[in-house]
Amino acid sequence: MNQEWVLWLFEGIVVAAALMILFSRSVFHAGLNLLVVVLSIGVIFGLYGSEFLFISQIMVYGGGILVLILFATMIVANKNSLSSTESSIPVLIAAFGVIVIITTWVMAYQPNGVPYVIPTPDLGRKLILDYSLPLEVAGVLLLVSLIGATLSSIQKPVAP
Amino acid sequence: MNPIMSLPVLATVLFCIGLLVVIFKKNTIMILIGLELMLNSANLNLIAFSSYRADADGQLLILFILIVAVCEAAVGLAIALRVYRYYQTSIPENISELKETAS
């Protein structure tokens, strides 16, 4: 893998933007940093050779969830909800402790191997042939939740 | 470090940061952002072990996680909007009207 330094670069960007989410006081800045995190994770998907997930991550997260979050931030967040943590010293201590302990635990497991690139036609064939029922169920779940979210967020309840 | 092993470590760090965001932040939208971080760390683990085992199932599971993440964000933000309209706050600690209104 000759593009290894690109992988390290984007992993560093992911960790830095996630830490900025943890320590930011403004909800809007946290939403923009979440955009940086999800786009960098999309680039990591692309580096592992799955272009379909790269495009899906950008479309779903960058186009769907981020717009929802920023839109809801503009409606919901007001002055008294901006200071969202008491102080950052306990957050700093807890973040350092938890990350060091669990990362050390994970790093004890070291598999060896080279990443294998799964071609996109295999993915599509498997999605249609083996996973057609979960795909339909997920589509129904998406439809129901979007209709429910729309109905419950309009101004007046619908008259029966 | 092996590049394929750096991805579970990154996912672990991201999951810890998301969990700490959920624990320490007080706003509803920040809690939802922390949930999105945790879902993304699960996706990172799935793509690492999917390409390590040369198995396409993990990448399909990422697709379904994306769909469920969209549902979760839509319903969660609709609930946050509704709660904000009723209680005029978006901090869950301030919503305590159910506790002591027995009169």
The tens digit of pLDDT for each residue in B58-98 reads 899 999 999 999 999 999 989 888 888 887 777 877 777 76
- Whether A157 has a pLDDT exceeding 80, the answer reads no
Q: What share of chain A has pLDDT > 90, as a percent?
A: 31
In a domain, B17, yes or no: no
Q: What's the rounded Cα separation, in Å, for the pair A120 and A99?
A: 34
In a domain, B86, yes or no: yes
Could you tell me which residue, A96 or B3, shows the higher pLDDT?
Answer: A96
Q: How confident is the model at residue B33 (pLDDT cuts 50, 70, 90)?
A: very high
Distance of CA A67 to the CA centre of its chain: 13
In a domain, B70, yes or no: yes
Q: Which domain holds residue B83?
A: 26-92
Q: Where are the alpha helices (DSSP H) in chain A?
A: 4-23, 27-47, 51-57, 66-76, 88-107, 120-129, 132-153
Let me know if B80 is exposed, middle or buried by CB neighbors in 10 A (0-12, 13-18, 19+): buried
Interface of B with A in 4-33 (CB under 8 A): 4-10, 12-14, 16-21, 23-30, 32-33
Whether residue A13 lies within 8 A of chain B, CB to CB, comes out as no
Whose CA is closest to B10, among A106, A34, A54? Answer: A106
In a domain, B1, yes or no: no
In a domain, B37, yes or no: yes
Least confident of A118-127, B33-42, B63-72: A118-127
The reported pTM is 0.85
Q: What share of chain A has pLDDT > 70, as a percent?
A: 84
- Domain count for chain B, please give it: 1
Smallest Cα distance from A160 to chain B, Å: 19
Average pLDDT, integer, range B25-46: 90
| B5 contacts A91? CB cut-off 8 A | no
What pLDDT, on a 0 to 100 scale, did the predictor assign at position A142? 93
In a domain, B58, yes or no: yes
Residue entry with tokens 């379909």: A52
What pLDDT, on a 0 to 100 scale, did the predictor assign at position A138? 93
Average pLDDT, integer, range A18-22: 90
Average pLDDT, integer, range B2-30: 84
The CATH number that applies at residue B61 is 1.10.287.3510
- Whether B24 has a pLDDT exceeding 60, the answer reads yes
Q: What's the rounded Cα separation, in Å, for the pair B76 and A128?
A: 30
Mean pLDDT estimate for chain A: 83
In a domain, B74, yes or no: yes
**Nearest residue of A to residue B88, measured between CA atoms:** A76
Whether residue B67 lies within 8 A of chain A, CB to CB, comes out as yes
Smallest Cα distance from A72 to chain B, Å: 7
What pLDDT, on a 0 to 100 scale, did the predictor assign at position A91? 72
In a domain, B5, yes or no: no
Could you tell me which residue, A111 or A24, shows the higher pLDDT?
Answer: A24
Whether residue B94 lies within 8 A of chain A, CB to CB, comes out as no
